[in-house]
Chain A
């Protein structure tokens, strides 16, 4: 088996970074997330291949929080769209986890299927290679296997790496893209015997079976009001979620020039569905809370065949008020309808 020895990890990243913008899980000050290796500063940054995951999910690499779409210039009554920003520089996400890879699969479903393909997303996505760090040691808030994700044998990884102890990683190319990047660093890998770890038990389980079905009859259930009371309707859960994708499109104009951009939006915000004439189909906090969970647990399931949650647990960890999607699922299971 090919193995990337501890001492070679940074060399591998460096080598890959010659032709790619490589995103690595990093602790940077108080923050953890996937940061471009170009911004890596060994005095401040700590590469985190040995921790469970990072707070800020890698979705921003294929779907940035703010993304320019096109630029324009006006001249009197004439307006010319002079630039379309489709960003396609080759990228590698190095060491993402199965839950976050699955989340990107869901973004693929969203952006590539159902009549239209999103060209901005495509440009970034098709040039991105996924080097997945297989997960053998689920954390306190992890429940990916309950949501149909395999932590150590993910589908659609380009390369799968396995922590085999002592900071060494077994390296398996899983796709053509994966073979191609493996070729770039083959001299840095060693051929050796390696035993893959065994997957430890999940501390958290939740039974999602039948939830989408049951929710069809629970739109008016009083649990939504009860559960939404603690919620502040801030956007933390949506922005930290690896799957939440709602976006806004806005414009920035200065003088005769400007550009249109899109940016993440949150269904928790009142403005999200507020119409210019004043009508808002989800005016109440409770309605926005309900829509978020129904979207994840029922609507996305109905439309795309899978729930829009990969069990990464981030929303549970960061919620200022202790709202938990696991509890929502459990409440649905228990509810009398």
Chain B
């Protein structure tokens, strides 16, 4: 569980948006830095932070990357009031952040293993923090396979990494799919779970990490189980409506666990012990 080092954990610290990158028509990545330079706090892959456009609202997002002690990146999809307003801000805007929250991915336990990342839509944002971590400490991890899909080509996030940087990395394979046929798309067409079954990775020594819409996660988990992955080999990261982020406000529970505190990362063995309410 995350340690709190701030005085009042519910009060955000203010950071400046130093860059904004359009990923897709409805996803932007926000680069934020403390006023006095550097990151407001250190984040491990898969951990969360509460981002507030202070006059509008607060929402919990996965930190999609921490670039050394320089800045944090949040890839945010416009789906509601807060995210719409965030998409309207310009570089230079001050926003609030508090965190880091949650357990993050088990980066230590995965060392020495081959890694399989399976993402859908904006679900690549949390996986990206782990993927980039694996590349940063490339020698610690084995073969890296990334399977990612979105509704359309335009909806694929992090295209430069997906099509250029990551495939060029050592011992790495990237498989991309889109839901429907499109002009100028010669790649795979179909949903992520079925593409996964086509690729049919050998579970031996492999850890699968998945994130995407709840319905995709459900089918991916089924597919992995069918391929012979054990429950301990399968990791996912969940989302829920969150307000406090510190395990008090109640709503993000699955059974007696709180996604904000005990999650958002669970392996399938842990998840199976909990009620199917996610």
**A: which residues have CB within 8 A of B?**
69-70, 72, 74, 77-81, 84, 86, 110-111, 114-120, 219, 245-251, 253, 258, 260, 262, 265, 267, 272-279, 281-282, 287, 291, 294-295, 298-300, 302-303
A116 proximity list for chain B (CB < 8 A): 4, 9, 246-248
Docked Cα-Cα span, A249 to B213, in Å, equals 25
A171 CB to closest chain B CB (Å) equals: 35
Docked Cα-Cα span, A273 to B277, in Å, equals 11
Asked if B80 and A265 sit within 8 Å, CB to CB, the answer is no
Asked if B275 and A219 sit within 8 Å, CB to CB, the answer is yes
Residue of A with least CB distance to B121: A277
Residue of B with least CB distance to A219: B275
Asked if B247 and A77 sit within 8 Å, CB to CB, the answer is no
Q: Which of A77, A117, A281, A300 contacts B277 (CB 8 A)?
A: A281
Count how many chain B residues have C-beta atoms less than 8 Å from C-beta atoms of the other chain.
51
A247 proximity list for chain B (CB < 8 A): 243-244, 248-250
At the interface, yes or no: B92 with Cβ under 8 Å from chain A? Answer: yes
Q: Which of A114, A248, A287, A303 contacts B243 (CB 8 A)?
A: A248
- 9-residue interface stretch from B54-62, B160-168, B171-179, B226-234: B54-62
Q: Which of A119, A246, A272 contacts B7 (CB 8 A)?
A: A119
**B: which residues have CB within 8 A of A?**
1-4, 7-12, 14, 54-59, 77, 79-83, 90, 92-96, 213-214, 239-241, 243-244, 246-256, 261, 275, 277-278
Docked Cα-Cα span, A312 to B54, in Å, equals 40
Docked Cα-Cα span, A77 to B57, in Å, equals 16
Asked if B80 and A74 sit within 8 Å, CB to CB, the answer is no
B25 CB to closest chain A CB (Å) equals: 16
A303 proximity list for chain B (CB < 8 A): 256
Asked if A275 and B55 sit within 8 Å, CB to CB, the answer is no
A251 proximity list for chain B (CB < 8 A): 54-58
Asked if A277 and B247 sit within 8 Å, CB to CB, the answer is no
Q: Which of B11, B94, B239, B250 contacts A70 (CB 8 A)?
A: B11
Given contact pairs A79-B96, A81-B11, A281 touches B256 in the complex (Cβ within 8 A): no
